[in-house]
């Protein structure tokens, strides 16, 4: 049985999993979620009662949460692109940066987007302001940390970059990276040009009108 990935092309975390699959040209069936495919939603809920995505099915094994999905692919469907170094000395910084991008970039970005989806009388300006401050802080840290690096953890494209790509893609829409953050902006541009992520961006273009803050006329 081939691998099955349940998700949606416009979903940031689905993109993260797709990058890993595309990087190694791993064959899989994409089970797209949405009103046009109710059977996929029903199967997702049957396999994971929380019904959040992405979710990977590999024969009799079900894996949810994006970083474990990529860990599973690395262990059981390896390819030429080693997204997680085999040695702990190299793997720990990659896993650390993966959590940084998910928690400290994706997290505040999602708080801003979620607030825009609320009814006007239920908005949380204080929470949005805190999220914007958090993004400014992590943008500054990343701008310094990534100096002199081609990719997040060094010269090789890894799990950390798979996390960074959708996180920075959408975060810059929600709260633009300052023009003075030249290192971070250049890194984001390299991510957008990476073929695996460029494919994700192109596949998600039809859904841009659904971005609640209004998708900028760029990227």
Dihedral sign for Cα 39, 41, 44, 49, please.
negative
Q: Does 116 score more than 90 pLDDT?
A: yes
14: confidence class by pLDDT, cuts 50, 70, 90: very high
Residue-wise pLDDT for 91-103, tens only, equals 999 999 999 999 9
pTM above 0.85, yes or no: yes
Residue-wise pLDDT for 30-43, tens only, equals 999 999 999 999 99
The full set of domains in the chain, from first to last, is 88-195 (1.20.1050.10)
The radius of gyration computed from the CA coordinates of the chain, to the nearest angstrom, equals 17
Q: What is the mean pLDDT of the chain?
A: 97
> Going edge to edge, which strands form the sheet with 61-64?
28-32, 3-7, 55-58, 61-64
Q: What is the mean pLDDT of residues 204-219?
A: 95
The reported pLDDT for the residue numbered 95 is 98
The reported pLDDT for the residue numbered 97 is 98
Residue-wise pLDDT for 158-206, tens only, equals 999 999 999 999 999 999 999 999 999 999 999 999 999 999 999 999 9
Q: What is the mean pLDDT of residues 120-134?
A: 97
d(CA 5, CA 57) in angstroms, rounded, equals 6
Q: Does 28 score more than 80 pLDDT?
A: yes
Q: Does 1 score more than 80 pLDDT?
A: no
The reported pLDDT for the residue numbered 2 is 86
125: confidence class by pLDDT, cuts 50, 70, 90: very high
d(CA 191, CA 18) in angstroms, rounded, equals 14
The reported pLDDT for the residue numbered 9 is 98
**CB contact at 8 A, 87 and 41:** no
Q: Does 86 score more than 80 pLDDT?
A: yes
112: confidence class by pLDDT, cuts 50, 70, 90: very high
């Amino acid at each position: 049985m081939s691998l099955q990935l349940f998700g949606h092309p416009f979903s940031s975390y689905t993109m993260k999993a797709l990058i890993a699959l595309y990087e190694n040209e791993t064959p899989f069936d994409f089970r797209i979620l949405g009103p046009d495919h109710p059977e996929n939603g029903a199967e997702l809920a049957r396999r994971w009662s929380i019904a959040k995505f992405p979710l990977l099915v590999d024969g009799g094994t079900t894996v949810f949460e994006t970083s474990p999905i990529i860990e599973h692919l690395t262990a059981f469907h390896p390819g030429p692109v080693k997204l997680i170094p085999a040695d702990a000395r190299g793997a720990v910084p990659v896993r650390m940066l993966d959590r940084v991008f998910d928690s400290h970039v994706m997290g505040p970005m999602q708080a801003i987007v979620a607030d825009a989806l609320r009814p006007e009388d239920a908005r949380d300006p204080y929470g949005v302001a805190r999220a914007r401050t958090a993004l400014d802080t992590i943008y500054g840290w990343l701008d310094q940390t990534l100096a002199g690096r081609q990719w997040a953890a060094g010269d090789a494209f890894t799990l950390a970059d798979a996390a960074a790509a959708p996180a920075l893609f959408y975060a810059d829409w929600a709260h633009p990276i300052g023009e003075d953050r030249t290192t971070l902006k250049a890194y984001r541009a390299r991510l957008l040009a990476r073929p695996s992520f460029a494919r994700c961006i192109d596949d998600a273009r039809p859904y841009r009108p659904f971005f609640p803050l209004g998708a900028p006329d760029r990227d």
